[in-house]
Amino acid sequence: MATPKPALPSLRSLAKRALRPQSRPPREEEELVVTIDRDSAPRVLFFGEDLWLCDLPVGTRVVYPRRPMAAAPNPKATIRWALNHPEGSDPFHAKLRPGMKVTIALDDISLPLPPMRTPDVRQLVLEIVLEQLADAGVDDVHLVIANSLHRRMTPGEMRRMVGDRIFEAFYPERYYNHDAEDPDGIVELEKTSHGELVAVNRRAAESDLLVYVNLNLVPMDGGHKSVGVGLCNYASLRAHHTPHTIRDSHGYMDPAKSALHRSTDRIGRVIDQNLDVFHIETVVNNRMFDGPLAFLGKNEDRYGEFDRLKLEAMRHTLAKLPRAAKRKIFHSVPAGYELVAAYAGATEPCHEKTLATTFQQYLVPVHGQSDVVIAGIPYISPYNVNSILNPLLVQVMGLGYLFNLFRGEPLVKKGGTIILTHPCPDEFDPEHHPSYIEFFHRLLPETRDAVELHRKYEREFAENPSYVHLYRKGNAYHGAHPFFMWYWGENGRQHVGRVIVAGAENTHVPALLGWEHAETLDDAIEMARGYHGRSASITLFHSPPILMAEVTA
- Residues forming contacts to another protein in the complex (CB under 8 A) are 181, 183, 428, 430, 434, 437-438, 441, 460, 463-470, 472-474
- Please report how close the Cβ of residue 411 comes to another protein at its closest, in angstroms: 36
CB of 213 closer than 8 Å to CB of 107? yes
Give ∠ CA 159-161-167 in degrees, rounded to 5: 35
Where would I find the beta strands (DSSP E) of 285-398?
Answer: 339-345, 363-367, 370-376
Characterise 99 by phi-psi region: left (phi > 0), alpha (psi -120 to 50), beta (else): left
- Mutual angle of helices 75-84 and 11-19, in 10-degree steps: 110
- Please report how close the Cβ of residue 431 comes to another protein at its closest, in angstroms: 8
- Please report how close the Cβ of residue 455 comes to another protein at its closest, in angstroms: 15
- Please report how close the Cβ of residue 320 comes to another protein at its closest, in angstroms: 28
CB closer to another protein, 280 vs 476? 476
CB closer to another protein, 361 vs 464? 464
Distance CA 328, CA 333 (A): 9
Pairing of strands 186-188, 175-177: unpaired
- Please report how close the Cβ of residue 160 comes to another protein at its closest, in angstroms: 24
CB closer to another protein, 181 vs 265? 181
CB closer to another protein, 368 vs 474? 474
CB of 381 closer than 8 Å to CB of 420? no
CB closer to another protein, 130 vs 468? 468
CB closer to another protein, 338 vs 429? 429
- Please report how close the Cβ of residue 374 comes to another protein at its closest, in angstroms: 33
The half-sphere exposure of 482 on its side-chain side, counting CA atoms within 13 A, is 31
CB closer to another protein, 407 vs 478? 478
CB closer to another protein, 278 vs 428? 428
- Please report how close the Cβ of residue 515 comes to another protein at its closest, in angstroms: 22
Cis before residue 219, ω within 30 degrees of 0?
no
- Please report how close the Cβ of residue 329 comes to another protein at its closest, in angstroms: 25
- Please report how close the Cβ of residue 508 comes to another protein at its closest, in angstroms: 15
- Please report how close the Cβ of residue 474 comes to another protein at its closest, in angstroms: 7
Q: Strand, coil or helix: what is 256? A: helix
Q: Does the CA dihedral 105-109-114-116 come out positive or negative? A: positive
CB closer to another protein, 17 vs 469? 469
Instruction: Please state, in angstroms and as integers, the Cα–Cα distance from residue 394 to each residue in 115, 180, 376, 404, 433, following that order.
Output: 19, 26, 10, 14, 13
- Please report how close the Cβ of residue 463 comes to another protein at its closest, in angstroms: 4
Distance CA 91, CA 96 (A): 9
Q: Does the CA dihedral 476-478-482-486 come out positive or negative? A: negative
CB of 432 closer than 8 Å to CB of 412? no
Where would I find the beta strands (DSSP E) of 55-150?
Answer: 61-63, 101-106, 140-145
CB closer to another protein, 225 vs 238? 238
* Structure letter (DSSP) for residue 479: T
The edge-to-edge listing of strands for the beta sheet with 516-518 is: 33-35, 61-63, 538-541, 370-376, 412-421, 498-502, 516-518
The closest alpha carbon to 481, from 441, 430, 446, 439, belongs to: 439
CB closer to another protein, 439 vs 541? 439
